[in-house]
Amino acid sequence: MAPPDPSDSAATFDPLDTATRSEIETMLERAERSTGHPPLSEPSRLAWAGQGGNLVGLVLRSVGRVTGYAQLSWRDRSWTIEIALDPSDDPAAVPRRRLLEAATAEAEGRGASEVRYWVTQHTDDDETEVEALGFRTERDLVQMRVPLPLKGPTPPLNEGFSLRPFRPGHDEAGWLEVNNRAFATHPEQSHWDLTTLMARELTGWFDPEGFLLCESRGRLAGSCWTKVHADRAPALGEIYVISVDPDFQRLGLGKVLTVAGLNWLAERVSIGMLYVDAANAPAVELYRSLGFTVDHIDRCYLLERR
């Protein structure tokens, strides 16, 4: 890690050694408790835990304690930055700007042609600050929630289709094929491979009973994979990944699968949750029709360098 000048005598950029890692871990947990939202995305958390993906970490220390952490990941020349801050710092804007500048310089120094910066629970104040560094808004990821159990009738499953739970060790290849077809143009959800899927199957939250597959004559038509966040307050039940094969879209299966997933979650939690791209009109329309409303927005900023 090339430590840029923090331009503050009280602040330093530290290497990511074992003791610092444990301080960061504690700060990440405190930040999540304080905001009710994980400061790092799931792929970044998995990379942090050594379960896949490249990472570079920048640690900002001030007056002897870790005040912020920037995690960078990359694929080819495309880099992504996420930043977590100590929730006890008020205002946290200074360490964040410093970390963002340092992380951007780090990515550029390693040949990045584009740098993305994700802001969780975005506010208008973030915009001014991030745009001042040359970033522009690229896309919004919306977290939507719905009280469970759902009001209204459960839509019937189409004739000739059936639902069953995912079978680990048996359904991976078929599921990956449909996932990658349905999400062909999606930046994070396309190009999943067995390693990406297995990293999730090996987590403590993975439950194949809450991973529903919809088939027609033995062919996979769609799926709804749920995830219970039992450690969140309040506990949340997420529609984690949902897709319908393009050959079977607009037949009502997306609605049937979403409701089936939410019904399964309703036996465990009282709030349903999901993330959806603001620009994904079919999915947003489907979720709104079931009573989902916006909880908050995570915004992706982009800086392009040629």
Query: Any contact of residue 255 with ligand COA (CB under 6 A)?
Result: yes
Query: Which one of 87, 280, 291, 294 is in contact with ligand COA (CB under 6 A)?
Result: 280
User: Distance between CA atoms of 149 and 143, rounded to whole angstroms?
Assistant: 18
Query: Any contact of residue 41 with ligand COA (CB under 6 A)?
Result: no
Q: Which stretch binds ligand COA (CB under 6 A): 40-48, 66-74, 129-137, 279-287?
A: 279-287
92 versus 286: smaller Cβ distance to ligand COA: 286
Cα Rg of the chain, angstroms: 21
Distance of closest approach, residue 216 Cβ to ligand COA, in angstroms? 12
Per CB under 6 A, which of residues 165..184 are in contact with ligand COA?
182-183
206 versus 275: smaller Cβ distance to ligand COA: 275
Distance of closest approach, residue 213 Cβ to ligand COA, in angstroms? 14
Q: Which stretch binds ligand COA (CB under 6 A): 7-15, 166-174, 192-200, 250-258?
A: 250-258
Sheet of 11-14: strand order equals: 11-14, 56-62, 65-75, 78-85, 114-119, 293-304, 136-147, 271-277, 236-244, 219-229, 211-216, 161-165
Q: Which residue has the tokens 């040359």?
A: 134
Position of minimal CB gap to ligand COA: 254
Query: Any contact of residue 242 with ligand COA (CB under 6 A)?
Result: yes
111 versus 282: smaller Cβ distance to ligand COA: 282
Helices (H), the chain: 18-35, 42-48, 93-109, 124-131, 172-182, 194-201, 253-266, 281-289
Distance of closest approach, residue 222 Cβ to ligand COA, in angstroms? 7
Phi, psi of 174 (to 5 degrees): -65, -40
Q: Helix %, strand %, coil % for the chain, to 5?
A: 30, 30, 35
Structural contact between residues 49 and 21, judged by C-beta atoms closer than 8 angstroms: no
Distance of closest approach, residue 274 Cβ to ligand COA, in angstroms? 6
Biggest CA–CA distance in the chain, Å, is: 69
Query: Which one of 283, 295, 298, 299 is in contact with ligand COA (CB under 6 A)?
Result: 283
Query: Any contact of residue 243 with ligand COA (CB under 6 A)?
Result: yes
Structural contact between residues 127 and 301, judged by C-beta atoms closer than 8 angstroms: no
Query: Any contact of residue 214 with ligand COA (CB under 6 A)?
Result: no
Query: Any contact of residue 286 with ligand COA (CB under 6 A)?
Result: yes
Structural contact between residues 114 and 74, judged by C-beta atoms closer than 8 angstroms: no
User: Distance between CA atoms of 98 and 102, rounded to whole angstroms?
Assistant: 6
Per CB under 6 A, which of residues 42..101 are in contact with ligand COA?
none
| First CA to last CA distance, the chain | 23
Per CB under 6 A, which of residues 119..138 are in contact with ligand COA?
none
Query: Any contact of residue 253 with ligand COA (CB under 6 A)?
Result: yes
Contact residues toward ligand COA (CB under 6 A) are: 182-183, 242-244, 249-255, 276, 280-283, 285-286, 289
